[in-house]
Chain A
Amino acid sequence: MADKKNQWKPAIILGGGLVVLAVLVIVFFTGGGREKVRRLAEIGIPKAQPPAGETAARKTVTLFFLSDGDDFLHGESREIAAGPSAADEAERALAELVKGSARSLVSPLPAETRVRQVFITKEGVAYVDFGREIMDKFSYGSSSELSAVYAVVDTLTFNFKSVKKVAILVEGAEKETLGGHVDLTQPFLPDYSIVAK
């Protein structure tokens, strides 16, 4: 019996080693931060619902739209449900941005656009994951692509202190551009020079 046990020992050690190696390989190839965002988005974790009733906390945010009269982004105040996390509020703010202006400003994003998820890293980069409608429903030129990107970037950095930079993903993946112009492969710093004074 003892002999038999010893006979199996090397096989057990070898097998265990292989399992550890396999786990390491899997972690190595899939363990990146961005991957985490993608998989969270695909699992479709239900969005945190704000508490119902009139006592629910509200928060006023500024959304950035275009105006037909000039080339600037114009701020418009909107009330959203507050909490629990900045990422939850950011999702609601972007959903309101997609809905459009209440005072006939021009929407920089397609009305069909889904806000799939916002994930904010410790370093202050907000990863915003949109549905493919953001690419498919507009045929972008340089101007419309710049205003779509910076309306999103400025809306998040202006309202959320924890957001320093914004990265835009589409359907959980990094895209080169929305329509052939603005580089999406790097997170954006805000640009308030295009916001009307």
Chain B
Amino acid sequence: MSLSMQELERIAQLARLRLEPQEAPRMLDQINGFFELVERMNAVDTQNVEPLAHPAAVMRDVALRLRADVVSEPNARELNMQNAPAADGGLFLVPKVIE
């Protein structure tokens, strides 16, 4: 199957990206070119095969773990905010959201 321009635009909207009109057809072609490779996966019978989300799951004697929900980092608010595009008084500034 191949992706239509409308579908690509919907996906771009979900991803908060804007496709330039002159770039969009090429982007669509390239993504559809890739999905031709993807179709080859259908030749493999994967019934009864569990999806593998993480390689540790196939390593012997290695378990994924959870850590205790405790603070492990020091408070570095000022340092963390120094890269903010717009900040004031220790707060991130964003455009007005509620009228």
Query: Do A and B interact?
Result: no
B residues apposed to A, CB below 8 Å: none
A residues apposed to B, CB below 8 Å: none
